[in-house]
Chains A and B, each alone.
Chain A
Amino acid sequence: MTATLATANVTPTWVQLVELVAAVCFILALKGLSSPKTARNGVLIGSVGALIAVVVTFFAGYEMNNLLWILLAMVVGIAIGWPAARKVKMTAMPQLVALFNGAGGGAAALVALVEYQAVGAEDTLVLTFTVLTVLIGSVAFSGSIVTFLKLQEIMTTRPVVIPAGRIVTIAVAVAAAVLAVALIISPTSLLLIILALVSLVLGVLLVLPVGGADVPIVISLLNAFTGLAVAASGYVLGNVLLLVAGTLVGASGTLLTQEMAKAMGRPLTNTLFGAFKASTALAAGGDADRPVRSSSADDVAIMLAYAQKVIIVPGYGLAVAQAQHTIRELVDLLNERGIEVAYAIHPVAGRMPGHMNVLLAEANVPYDQLKEMEEINPEFSSTDVVLVVGANDVVNPAAKSDPSAPIYGMPILDVSDAAQVVFLKRSMRPGFAGITNELLYDPKTTLLFGDAKDSLTKVVGAVKGL
């Protein structure tokens, strides 16, 4: 298929068989990752598949002119990727995944560029896939970097609206499309590089207007993009394994993105195109003057200790304060007093779907105490105290009552049905989506200000003393 094979025009049969095994490994990996019981096996099978795929490449009869450089580059890659993945705090994990994804997209675009420089394209189909790889890979690369900057809060998590942003974005998208068509008609290296640059700009423009709370969905979407870019690069190189692996990720990633968007209760197009436009208007309501009821740790301890049924709503603030272990201690104490306690996990608690489950599992919270939203929502009306720790948007009634709210339509935890609500918050600052929460001003709401871990430690101490 390509001119990169040194000895034969066809990949040796045994190599193709090994690649088939690797492809099956990837399918089984994704299958395994879909269920908690088999998830770890899934990762193992996937990594074994990747390992044999990489090793076999060196013995497949490809030209290997720069073996030393290749091995050196792999060592550098491992030296960067491994420690980054081992050391990252679980709270910062979504942005690390975004960075890894961007790296993959960039690699795919570079592969297509280098291959085109070396051998050109033998027919229109190969050329088309070369152009697609460069375009999609570059968008995934720069887009992922912007999502990283947003989640790391290096840049604002609010939607960035540049003047005439939509028109500029459309113009750049059209430019990329025109360039792509021009390339397919009359290809040159220079045009391909210009396409790469324009696509990088396009990636930035597409992600800039996305609001903080929607960023995880965008990561998932860009993940699917990278998959497609890798699949296209597989077509360019005539490599079946790349084609299959990339397509699997592209397809499963698209489905996953839809699932996540559904969990947020908003169509994907909303997420991407100016969903959070109203947030600034709502947040700027002069909230500082409104009265709230704040309380002491001792009062909260008494409320909890004499309740019959307590539900904990953990949010990202809990994770940031590293308070998972303290909350578990509190729950254990309450359990000892015979109080029924459950955790209510919103599908997007934390910063990604499933993120909170990971964080609580880290603190040894038993799995059966974690209740998903549909399961727990009917129970709030029979609950004495709801303890909201570092969560905000996922309990904001504006999602139900205020059609102008940017999060309108997102399913929320119905904590306002409970008899009493206690918020542990650092300040009156609005949540990640930047929207005021009316529930904070509700008469049945009590606020305990301070770092979630400090506050919880005080509450734990007070409960022990009762």
Chain B
Amino acid sequence: MSGIALLTIFVLSIFVGFEVVSKVSAVLHTPLMSGANAIHGVVLIGAIIVTGSSDTPLSLALGVFAIVLATVNLVGGFVVTERMLEMFKPKQPGKDAA
């Protein structure tokens, strides 16, 4: 894909990013931050790609380290977000838990 196409996607994504969280309630600031944090854990796929093609011990070691870090970010991020939100689920039937 050409550089300009990527730049276009980049710029449009900025607007989407602003737009999707523009109406967040303060109650959800922490889970939203945590969820966004988990999403950037997909840098894992970048780590996998560079490690897959690395052919020196140094780049392999760095790549493996990158995979460990990214996996921690991705998996831990989603799990901790889910844990925060577990607590918001309605626990008293009949009562509006919003």
Contact = CB atoms under 8 A, between A and B. Distances in A.
B80 A103 contact: no
Interface string A41-57: 01100110010011001
Contacts of A252: 17-18, 20-21, 32, 36
A344 interface: no
Interface in B19-77: 20-56, 58-60, 62-77
Given A39-B28, A77-B70, A114-B54, A249 B36 contact: yes
B39 A39 contact: no
Interface residues of A, number: 117
Contacts of A226: 37, 40
B24 A34 contact: yes
Interface string A69-98: 110111011101110111010100110110
A253 B50 contact: no
**Per DSSP, are chain B's interface residues mostly helix, strand or loop, or mixed?**
helix
Contact of B38 (A22, A50, A244): A50
**Central interface residue in B35, B36, B40, B62, by most chain A CB within 10 Å:** B40
Contacts of B91: 364
Contact of A77 (B26, B49, B72): B72
Contacts, number: 395
A114 B6 CA distance: 21
Given A57-B48, A115-B50, A118-B50, A36 B28 contact: yes
B50 to A, nearest CB: 4
A34 B33 CA distance: 10
A43 B77 CA distance: 10
B20 A248 contact: yes
B59 to A, nearest CB: 5
A199 interface: no
Given A50-B78, A78-B75, A114-B62, A246 B30 contact: no
A39 B52 contact: no
B26 A263 contact: yes
B26 A255 contact: no
Contacts of B20: 27, 30-31, 34, 248, 252
B3 interface: yes
B59 A253 contact: no
B29 A104 contact: no
Interface of A: 1, 3-4, 6, 22, 26-27, 29-31, 33-37, 39-40, 42-43, 46-47, 50, 53-54, 57-58, 62-67, 69-70, 72-74, 76-78, 80-82, 84-86, 88, 90, 93-94, 96-97, 100-101, 103-104, 106-108, 110-111, 113-115, 117-118, 123, 125-126, 219-220, 223, 226-227, 229-231, 233-235, 237-256, 259-260, 263, 347, 352-355, 357-358, 361-362, 364, 366-368, 372
Q: Which 10 A-B pairs have the closest CB atoms?
A: A77-B71, A251-B17, A81-B76, A353-B29, A247-B13, A85-B79, A110-B66, A73-B67, A361-B87, A104-B73
Interface of B: 1, 3, 6, 9-10, 13-18, 20-56, 58-60, 62-89, 91-92, 95-98
